[in-house]
Amino acid sequence: MYFAGEPGASQAVDRDAIAVRDVSVAAGGRTILGPVSAAFAAGTVHALVGHNGSGKSTLVRVLAGQLRPSAGAATLGGKPVHAWAARALAREIAYLPQEPAAAAGFTVRDLVGLGRYCRHGPFGRFGAKDRAAVEAALEVTRTAGFADRDVASLSGGERQRAWIAMLVAQESRFLLLDEPTSALDIGHQLEVLALVRSLAEIRGVGIVMVLHDINMAARFADRLVALRGGRVIRSGTPDEILTADGLTEIFAVPMALAAGSARPLAYPL
């Protein structure tokens, strides 16, 4: 696996990875992302961090095949993402946008069942294997207790877990999450991020998520990828990224680290 700006960035990527190679995205006559080269391996939690408008959500959409880049390519296992058939890609990559559909009128179990579409298609039979995958997803996300409730009746944290359960039911190798803790209180943030962490550790899922809270990112991610002005400016482990100089470069405000904390803890000066 390589990351932009590190030794070996021009070499071939791990074939068991999703990656971008020299990707740029232009809109409205200006470049909003890139050029960016980076790779994200299965079984690893990656957090994309940086200020608003730095290109984090755009990068996730490119990786998910939701946005075709103006230049360069996103690849899965070395094959361009846009060359994959939609259902085949969904069996490999599950994507949750910032604002998923309301899903009113669906129970949680119905919603989670939609994750099986990529496995049996529109005319395939929803069989025992599908039912088992749905129940397993409900169990691992701790949503079984409200599986028969309407999605619209759930709290923000419950609804987010329900959507993640749908993605778990897809049984994809990669899970891409765009601001999964947005608008959640601190307790539900911890709950959702602990769930995401467990999917990587227990199921070997590769996670790429956009987070605004650098301390949450450092706590739950294996690697941080920092963007600024549409480019990757730093990448590495939380210990490598959370330095006063590194944080100041990323967020363009003076930052410092709390002394004596068990893990890196950043705060603005």
What's the pLDDT at 229? 94
* Mean pLDDT, rounded, of the chain: 89
Assign residue 14 the CATH number of its domain: 3.40.50.300
The answer on 198 and 140 residing in a single domain is no
Take residue 230 and report the two structure tokens written for it: 């549409």
The answer on 248 and 206 residing in a single domain is yes
- Cite the DSSP H helix spans in 97-232: 108-113, 117-120, 128-140, 156-170, 186-203, 214-220
The answer on 194 and 66 residing in a single domain is yes
pLDDT more than 90, % of the chain: 71
Residue 267: phi, psi to the nearest 5?
-150, 150
Average pLDDT value for residue range 188-217 = 94
pLDDT in tens, 127-182: 899 999 999 999 999 999 999 999 999 988 899 999 999 999 999 999 999 999 98
Task: Quote the CA–CA distance of 8 and 142 in Å, as a whole number.
Answer: 41
What's the pLDDT at 83? 93
What's the pLDDT at 122? 66
User: Would the pLDDT of 86 be above 70?
Assistant: yes
Take residue 122 and report the two structure tokens written for it: 């529109």
pLDDT class of 15 with cuts at 50, 70, 90: low
The answer on 49 and 114 residing in a single domain is no
**26-47 as b/e, with b when 16 or more CB fall inside 10 Å?**
eeeeebbbbbbbbbbbbebbbb
pLDDT in tens, 90-112: 999 999 998 887 777 899 999 99
Task: Quote the CA–CA distance of 82 and 67 in Å, as a whole number.
Answer: 9
- Using CA atoms, how far residue 198 sits from 44, 50, 171, in Å, is 11, 24, 14
What's the pLDDT at 266? 87
Task: Quote the CA–CA distance of 161 and 155 in Å, as a whole number.
Answer: 10
Q: Range with the lowest mean pLDDT among 104-108, 121-125, 205-209?
A: 121-125
**Of 118, 138, 171, which marks where a domain is finished?**
171
Residue 246's nearest CA partner among 232, 230, 263, 260 is 232
User: Would the pLDDT of 74 be above 70?
Assistant: yes
User: Would the pLDDT of 244 be above 60?
Assistant: yes
What's the pLDDT at 33? 96
The answer on 260 and 227 residing in a single domain is yes
User: Would the pLDDT of 72 be above 50?
Assistant: yes
This model's pTM is above 0.75: yes
User: Would the pLDDT of 3 be above 70?
Assistant: no
**Of 115, 146, 171, which marks where a domain is finished?**
171
Range of the domain at 102: 93-171
Q: Report DSSP state, residue 254.
A: -
pLDDT in tens, 35-70: 999 999 999 999 999 999 999 999 999 999 999 999
